Amino acid sequence: MFEYGIKRAKELDVYFQSHGTPVGPLHGLPMSLKDSFKIPGYDSTIGLVENIGNKSTEYSTLCQLLYDQGAVFYVKTNVSQCLMTYDSDNNVFGRVLNPLNLQLTAGGSSGGEGALLKQRGSVVGIGTDVGGSIRIPALCDGVYGFKPSCDRVPYGNQVNPDDPRDRTGLSFNPCAGPLATTFDNLDIVFRAILGGKPWLYDASTKSVPFMDDVYNEFKNKEVLRIGYFIEDEGFPLHPPLKFAIEHSIERLQKEGYEMVRIDKFPSLEILWRHATRSYIMSFGFWTFCKIFRVGEPPIQALKGTHVEKFGLPPANSSVSRVQRYLLERENLKLQWNTIFMELGLDAIICPAAPHGPVKQDEYGISPYTAMWNVVDFPALVMPLTKEPALTLENAPHKSEYVKGKYSAYVADYKPEETVGACSHIQLVTRNFEDEKLLAISRRIDYILN
């Protein structure tokens, strides 16, 4: 795609010379794209051999908006097979390697984005997230990743793995969002997207522009009240990451933030069980069928999804079963909303995984990211890069790890394999409080990084 990008950049130069003004706020900005996004003349395999050569004739909805804002697309990045796992490997392009340590996973399914950004092959890119596919590459590769609330950013007209017959909306919705090398780049791109009136491009996108008043309110609020939880007892954190998050909370407290420990919250086991069943019921079933139907070998990471443990509903679920799942989801959302209300929280800090990047094909399940997809709360992963003591190889307390009930379904604790890996935190606000999340995250990033 380099020729495509160079041609586009030259066109923008001519426009600026002729008109004296930029096309839009992203004029000339090189942007990378996850492979699922369509660009005319290029295929989107999403890691499936049968999709080789399916050249697009149009832009995905978000790409068209970004193009109109002046973005320059020059590369599409690798993903996991069918966008299904947190290890970006497939039979078309092979495996994405982690720039921090080539033996570790780069995350998925937007792993190519995370790896390219960390190597400064891109400064900002676009990924998608239905269970952590923006935030997991961010935490694995040490970059920033932002999953907005659903229906704030256009998602339509991508190449997806699911069967076209299944457009039920029974699962929680995927969303698109930016990954970047700096927090500023996340902020700039999100503002540009909303400033481009995305609801005119995609009818499912809500007609809500960027709310500067909300952003400025929390950017300038004298004292922020931040809730936090360190871990769920069923999915305990690896000691170095636990230390890094605790240290971050102490730092914020010293800076005058009101830090409120959340002692009681919905079990991550319940949230993950719901996520797995909803995903498989809505479109994951057809994805597995597609892989096996065409006889393509499944990648190793697909065998670590553990759907047999957390629930594989039948392909054709009854109306009552669907209603039960939808009611459960609303109850989970209500519980988290109540926590925000009763504790008077502006935001929550928590981990995005029980660990940092782990060995390839060993990532396992993702309850700490998928939980926020289930309740549709915006979430942002921030690397902790300022203090060398917070890298996973240098953090203390490496031997104090007690496995939890579900530790068998996440990566094992092997501190000797985390050389070069950084720590992270995840920040969360309530549904459609994206501007609030960005304002608070900017302040926290300034303190911690």
The count of residues in the chain is 449
The backbone region for 342, taken as left when phi is positive above 0, alpha when psi lies in -120 to 50, beta otherwise, is alpha
Cα separation, 426 vs 437, in Å, equals 11
Question: Exposed (0-12), middle (13-18) or buried (19+): which is 16, by Cβ within 10 Å?
Answer: middle
Residue 278 catalytic? Answer: no
Q: Which two tokens stand for residue 444?
A: 């926290």
Per the annotation, the verdict on 320 as an active-site residue is no
| Contact criterion met (CB below 8 Å) for 47 and 291 | no
The number of beta carbons lying within 10 Å of the beta carbon of residue 6 is 12
Q: Which two tokens stand for residue 1?
A: 């795609």
Using CA atoms, how far residue 87 sits from 124, 243, 288, in Å, is 21, 25, 16
Cis check for the bond before 110: say yes or no (omega within 30 of 0).
no
Strands 30-34 and 72-77: parallel
Q: Of these residues, 36, 88, 109, 278, which one is catalytic? A: 109
| E-state strands within 79-121 | 89-90, 94-95
Q: What share of the chain is helix, strand, coil (3-state, %, to 5)?
A: 40, 15, 45
Alpha-carbon span 110 to 132, nearest angstrom: 9
Instruction: For the sheet with 175-180, list strands across it.
Output: 72-77, 30-34, 124-129, 175-180, 144-147, 379-384, 423-428, 347-350, 225-228, 258-261
Active-site annotation holder among 80, 133, 171, 407: 133
Q: Which residue has the tokens 């599409």?
A: 76
Nearest of 114, 26, 21 to residue 63 by alpha carbon = 26
Contacts for 183 with CB less than 8 Å, ≥ 6 apart: 144, 382, 441, 442, 445, 449
Closest residue by Cα to residue 390 from 249, 252, 251, 244: 244
Per the annotation, the verdict on 133 as an active-site residue is yes
What residues act catalytically?
A: 34, 109, 133
